[in-house]
C-alpha cells in the first residue's frame, strides 16, 4: 500500500466502489432473469398479449434504471483511478525536478534502455480508454483525434518533438514537457532517452501532443487511424518516430493491468511487445 495518505484514501474509496458495482449487478440479476423467463413464456404460448407487453415494458424500464445506476458507479470508479494516476504522475514529476535541480545530490544515473522500453510499453498499454456518454463524441487527443490549435501540453506530458541531431539532421523523438513559455510560444522539453540530460527549446510547430486516451473501435471508430493512413510511429525498441502506414486498425479493445494504480507502488510489470505503440499525425 502506498505511503501517501491521499492515495491510500482514494484506493479505499475505489475498493468500495468496486464492491458497490458488484452489489448493484447482483441486485439487478433477478430482473434480468424475469425478462428472459417472460420471453420464454411468450415463445411457448406463441403470442404477445397486452399483459406481456405491459410486463416487459416495466421490466425493461427497471433494467435500464439498474444499468444506469451501475454505469454511474463505474464512471465514479474511473474518476478515482484517473485521480490516483494523476497524483502518481505529480509525485514522479516532483521527484524528477528535485533530482534535476538539487546541487547536493549526486548526479542521477541514466536509466538502462531495457528499463526505459518496458516503462514506455507499460505507459502505452495502460493509456486510459475513452468511455463517453451516449452520443458524446471523442475529445481531442483521443486516438487519432488531434489537439485543438490553441492546446498547450502540460508539464510531464509526453510529446513528439522535432529536434536536430548531432550530425545536423532533423528527427522526431519522444520527449517530456518541462515547461511552456507563453511569451515566446516555445516549449522546453527533455529527451526521454537521455533522462533530462538532453534538453531542447522548441517552437509549437515542432511539437505534437500525444494521445491521452485510447479510442474504442466498437463505439468510436471515427477516432481510429484508418488503413494506409500516413502517421509517425515509434520504431521498436527506440524513442524515435518514423513515417509509417497503418496496416490494420484495431477491431476490439485490449485491456492491461497496471499494478501501480492498485497499490500505489512506483514499480510496474509490463508485457514487452515488438510493435509501435504511439502513432500520430506528422505536422
What pLDDT does 194 receive?
Answer: 64
Q: What is the DSSP string of 81-129?
A: HHHHHHHHHHHHHHHHHHHHH-SSSPPPPPPPHHHHHHHHHHHHHTPPB
Could you tell me if 173 and 242 are in contact, meaning their C-beta atoms sit under 8 angstroms apart?
Answer: no
CA angle 68, 131, 66 (to 5 degrees): 10
Residue 102 has pLDDT above 70, yes or no: no
Q: What is the mean pLDDT of the chain?
A: 82
Q: Among positive and negative, which fits the CA dihedral 24, 26, 127, 283?
A: negative
Pairwise CA distance, residues 60 & 68, whole Å? 12
Using a cut of 0.85, tell me whether the model's pTM lies above it.
no
pLDDT digits (tens, 9 = 90+) for 22-55: 999 999 999 999 999 999 999 998 888 999 999 9
Region 121-142: what's the mean pLDDT?
Answer: 87
Q: What are phi and psi of 191, to 5 degrees?
A: -70, 120
Which helix (H) or strand (E) segment holds residue 183: the answer is none
User: CA 190 → CA 151, 160, 237, distances in Å?
Assistant: 19, 11, 19
Q: What are phi and psi of 202, to 5 degrees?
A: -130, 145
Pairwise CA distance, residues 82 & 5, whole Å? 17
Placement of cell 518516430 in the chain:
241
Q: What percent of the chain has pLDDT over 90?
A: 52
Size (the chain), residues: 283
Expressed in percent and rounded to 5, the helix, strand and coil fractions of the chain are 40, 20, 40
Other C-beta atoms closer than 10 Å to the C-beta of 11 total 20
Could you tell me if 213 and 129 are in contact, meaning their C-beta atoms sit under 8 angstroms apart?
Answer: yes
Which helix (H) or strand (E) segment holds residue 265: the answer is none
263 confidence band (pLDDT: 50, 70, 90): very low
Instruction: Label residues 72-111 b or e (16+ Cβ within 10 Å = b).
Output: ebbeebeebbeebbebbeeeebeebeeeeeeeeeeeeeee
User: Of 56, 58, 57, 65, whose CA–CA distance to 37 is shortest?
Assistant: 56
Beta-bridged to residue 207, according to DSSP, are: 161
- Maximum CA pair distance of the chain? 84
Q: Which three cell numbers stand for residue 165?
A: 541531431
Residue 270 has pLDDT above 60, yes or no: no
15 confidence band (pLDDT: 50, 70, 90): very high
Instruction: Label residues 216-239 b or e (16+ Cβ within 10 Å = b).
Output: beebbeebbbeeeeebbbbeeeeb
What pLDDT does 259 receive?
Answer: 41
Amino acid at each position: 500500500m502506498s505511503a501517501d495518505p491521499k492515495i491510500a484514501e482514494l484506493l479505499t474509496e475505489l475498493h468500495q466502489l468496486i464492491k458497490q458495482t458488484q452489489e448493484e449487478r447482483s441486485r439487478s440479476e433477478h430482473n434480468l432473469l424475469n425478462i428472459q423467463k417472460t420471453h420464454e413464456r411468450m415463445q411457448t404460448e406463441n403470442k404477445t398479449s397486452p399483459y406481456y407487453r405491459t410486463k416487459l415494458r416495466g421490466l425493461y424500464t427497471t433494467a435500464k434504471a439498474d444499468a444506469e445506476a451501475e454505469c454511474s458507479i463505474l464512471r465514479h470508479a474511473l474518476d478515482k483511478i484517473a485521480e490516483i494516476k494523476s497524483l502518481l504522475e505529480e509525485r514522479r514529476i516532483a521527484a524528477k525536478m528535485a533530482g534535476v535541480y538539487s546541487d547536493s545530490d549526486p548526479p542521477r544515473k541514466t536509466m538502462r534502455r531495457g528499463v526505459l522500453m518496458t516503462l514506455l510499453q507499460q505507459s502505452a498499454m495502460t493509456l486510459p480508454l475513452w468511455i463517453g456518454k451516449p452520443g458524446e463524441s471523442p475529445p481531442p487527443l483521443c486516438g487519432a483525434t488531434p489537439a485543438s490549435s490553441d492546446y498547450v501540453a502540460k508539464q510531464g506530458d509526453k510529446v513528439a518533438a522535432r529536434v536536430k541531431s548531432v550530425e545536423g539532421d532533423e528527427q522526431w523523438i519522444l520527449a517530456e514537457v518541462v515547461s511552456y513559455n507563453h511569451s515566446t510560444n516555445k516549449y522546453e522539453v527533455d529527451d526521454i532517452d537521455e533522462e533530462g540530460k538532453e534538453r531542447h527549446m522548441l517552437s509549437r510547430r515542432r511539437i505534437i501532443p500525444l494521445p491521452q486516451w485510447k479510442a474504442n473501435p466498437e463505439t468510436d471508430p471515427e477516432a481510429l487511424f484508418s488503413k494506409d493512413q500516413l502517421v509517425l510511429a515509434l520504431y521498436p525498441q527506440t524513442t524515435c518516430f518514423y513515417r509509417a502506414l497503418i496496416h490494420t486498425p484495431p477491431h476490439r479493445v485490449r485491456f492491461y493491468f497496471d499494478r501501480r494504480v492498485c497499490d500505489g507502488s512506483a514499480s510496474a510489470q509490463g508485457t514487452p511487445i515488438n510493435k509501435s505503440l504511439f502513432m500520430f499525425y506528422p505536422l
